[in-house]
């Protein structure tokens, strides 16, 4: 009756997931009002971030199909001071991130229950997060129901990410031999092996240097097609526009060069 997904925005943004959830009791209790509760954790630090609540509209049906979109925000669920729930010593009251004025008790690790008063007999690995007695949140390099299985794909020298990129194994249900590299700001590529193009512009005119901002126009010339005006890694012409509608030619080149460091000076 539960499922886990490792979500990487760089890799999985826009991905649709089809998940089948069973009722915890078979047959289901017709007098119980069921719902779906979604928790999100930071996979690296294993810190709790937020929760979503999804209602099941037709409780009388044996099967329901529910479609929803989850927007993962930078902010985490806030502990509510106005919560009407009593969560005891081992939990705190949290508002669902998608439902205002709907609260639940987020229990501390090792505790569960509506009021977080049930001590769990956790058998998860010591470096994982024990959500309930049957749900373990594994660290980035572990998998399995209790997080005792180790994925070593990121530790092998031939598969490591370059230039301080962070290696994340692909979901173990898909492959044990694939990984994703999260690159630092100045690098890209499957293993962060490519450096992003860098452009340094120096203004020799003091009047230009004192301006609070300028406009940069990138132009890509495509053979037998109209010119494209865009901001992209691949470009042929770079114009600089000042606030007084004065234009300067910053860069002019015929071909795009990978990982190029361009240095140019703007003369009055």
pLDDT per 10-residue tile (average), the chain, 268 residues: 86 86 85 92 91 91 90 70 86 90 91 91 92 90 91 77 90 80 89 86 73 76 58 72 83 79 80
pLDDT of residue 263: 85
DSSP string across the chain: --------HHHHTT---------SSSS--TTS--EEEEEEE-TTT--EEEEEEEE-S-TTSS-----------SSPPPBPSS------TTEEEEE-TTSTT-EEEEEPTTEESTTS-EE----S-TTSEEEETTEEE--TTEESTTS-EE--TTTSGGGPPSTTPEEEE--TTT-SS-EEEE--TTEESTTS-EEPPEEEEEE--HHHHTSS--EEEEEE--TTS--EE---S--SEEEEE-TTS-EEEEEE-SS--TT-EEEEEE--
pLDDT of residue 14: 81
pLDDT of residue 268: 67
pLDDT of residue 197: 80
Domain 151-196 CATH class label: mainly beta
pLDDT of residue 12: 85
pLDDT of residue 218: 73
Residue spans per domain, the chain: 1-108, 151-196, 197-266
pLDDT of residue 230: 45
């Amino acid at each position: 009756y539960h499922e886990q997904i490792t979500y990487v925005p760089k890799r999985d943004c826009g991905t649709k997931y089809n998940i089948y959830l069973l009722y915890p009791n078979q047959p289901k209790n017709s007098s119980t009002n069921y719902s779906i509760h979604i928790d999100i954790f930071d996979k690296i630090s294993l810190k709790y971030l937020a929760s979503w609540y999804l209602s099941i509209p037709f409780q009388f049906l044996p099967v329901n199909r529910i479609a929803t979109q989850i927007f993962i925000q930078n902010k985490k669920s806030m502990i509510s001071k106005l919560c009407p729930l009593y969560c005891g010593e081992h939990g705190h009251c949290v508002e669902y991130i998608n439902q205002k004025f709907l609260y639940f008790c987020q229990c501390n690790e090792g505790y569960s229950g509506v009021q977080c008063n049930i001590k769990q007999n956790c058998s998860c690995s010591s470096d994982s997060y024990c959500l309930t007695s049957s749900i373990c949140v594994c660290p980035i390099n572990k998998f399995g129901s209790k997080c005792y299985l180790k994925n070593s794909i990121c530790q092998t020298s031939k598969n490591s990410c370059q230039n301080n990129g962070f290696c994340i194994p692909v979901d173990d249900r898909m492959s044990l031999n694939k990984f994703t590299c999260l690159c630092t700001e100045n690098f890209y590529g499957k293993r962060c092996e490519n450096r992003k193009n860098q452009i340094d512009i120096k203004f020799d005119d003091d009047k230009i240097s004192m301006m609070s901002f300028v406009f940069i126009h990138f132009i890509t010339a495509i053979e037998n097609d109209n010119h494209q005006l865009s901001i992209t890694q691949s470009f042929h012409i770079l114009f600089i526009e000042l606030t007084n509608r004065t234009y300067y030619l910053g860069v002019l080149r015929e071909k795009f060069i990978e990982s190029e460091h361009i240095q140019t000076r703007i003369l009055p």
